[in-house]
Structure 1
Amino acid sequence: MAEPEGIITNLDSAPEGKPNGLDNQPAAGIITQYVKDLSVENPNAPESYQWTEAPQVDVQFNIGAEAVGPEVHEVMLKITISASCERGPLYIVDLAYCGLVGIRNVPEEQAHAFLFAGAPSLLFPFARRVISDAVRDAGYAPLMMDPIDFTGLYMQQLQARQAEAGAGGEPISPVTGGTN
């Protein structure tokens, strides 16, 4: 089935040099997503299955983006979950969940926001499912992580950077972290 004229379903499918400006339109999206690394530790099994106290669950995450081509970036959600109680650790799940993101003709500030807020928001539900399944497969009740407001966190970090730069009186670039 042929693609309708003017609709880009894949960043690589945009015709080159179209006179209607199709190749100059901004485009951003997830090309593919995948588990890059997954580690599950269950250090006190089978004894930990007998423990009755509620575990303390610690969630840590980090977002990274790296250019892998002129219009393609790898966005990585690095999530570490550790559950423990007074007797010791129950499980540790360490996940690197990635997406290849295509960005074309998008201003640098908006591209940065998409890489560090928009794309993670799109990837997170799938990473959350991988973590839930990993915890369940380790023999515990599935862990359903609460949604994360990546846009809100991005804005907080941007405001914090600007406040730090405020002492010097120059605005901070969200892209480089340096001054404009």
Structure 2
Amino acid sequence: MTDATMGAPEGQAQPSVRVLAQYVKDLSFENPRAPLSLQTNNTTPAINIGVNVGARNLSETDFEVTLSLECTAGKDDEIAFQAELAYAGVIRVGGMKPEHVQPFLLIEGPRLLFPFARQIIADAVRNGGFPPLMIDPIDFVALYRKNLERAQSAQQQAPKAN
């Protein structure tokens, strides 16, 4: 197949993506009430999960994408466990228009990293004495749009310097 048949104009390189490395930047698990929190209880604790995504340039084509997950389980003011993970990858992007790089990194980057981060959290929670926490899939497109709207709103509300 030629470049033209794949959707790219002739003579223009196809976009390429490679994950060069994946790694845990930071991992924390806390079980502050152990062993009391491990006693059988008939009620399911409320679980809150926070997600954040960031990207930074390492070179013209290489970027570090970091997926941060913060998971807390408990009832009222009693925390059963808290797990925090910053999982990152170095992603090489080539042949992509500059205006498409940031959305790609903040949507597809975490999508590539998520299954590994999910497994690390599940294992940490299980190793802490609880059933593994299997985080539901995350819609990174919706998360990107929400963060973009929040940034635009904050920019509009910022006082203008004269």
Shorter-chain TM range is 0.7 to 0.9
Q: Aligned partner of 2:20: which letter?
A: I
CA gap of 1:109–1:43, structure 2 versus 1, over 3 A, is same
CA distance in 2, matches of 1:69, 1:87: 45
How many pairs align?
147
Number of the residue aligned with 1:91: 81
CA distance in 1, matches of 2:54, 2:154: 22
Number of the residue aligned with 1:106: 96
Query: Alpha-carbon deviations, 1:111-157, whole Å to 9, x = none?
Result: 11111001111111111111001000000001111100102322344
CA gap of 1:40–1:68, structure 2 versus 1, over 3 A, is same
Say which is worse superposed, 28-37 or 71-80, in terms of deviation.
Answer: 28-37
Q: 1:37 aligns with which of 10, 13, 26?
A: 26
CA gap of 1:117–1:87, structure 2 versus 1, over 3 A, is closer
Show structure 1 runs of 4+ deviating over 4 A: 159-167
Say which is worse superposed, 144-153 or 127-136, in terms of deviation.
Answer: 144-153
CA distance in 1, matches of 2:94, 2:150: 28
Q: 2:37 aligns with which of 48, 69, 73?
A: 48
Report the CA distance between 1:69 and its aligned residue: 1.9
Report the CA distance between 1:103 and its aligned residue: 1.1
Q: Which ranges in structure 1 are unaligned for 5 or more consecutive residues?
A: 1-20, 168-180
Number of the residue aligned with 1:76: 66
- Secondary structure of 2:34's partner? coil
CA distance in 1, matches of 2:143, 2:97: 21
* Percent identity between the two aligned chains: 40
Q: Aligned partner of 1:85: which letter?
A: K
CA distance in 2, matches of 1:150, 1:87: 30
The TM-score normalised by the length of structure 1 is 0.72
Q: Would you say 1:142 and 2:132 are equivalent positions?
A: yes
Number of the residue aligned with 1:28: 17
The TM-score normalised by the length of structure 2 is 0.80
RMSD between aligned residues: 2.4
Report the CA distance between 1:160 and its aligned residue: 5.6
Q: Which ranges in structure 2 are unaligned for 5 or more consecutive residues?
A: 1-10, 158-162
- Secondary structure of 1:75's partner? strand
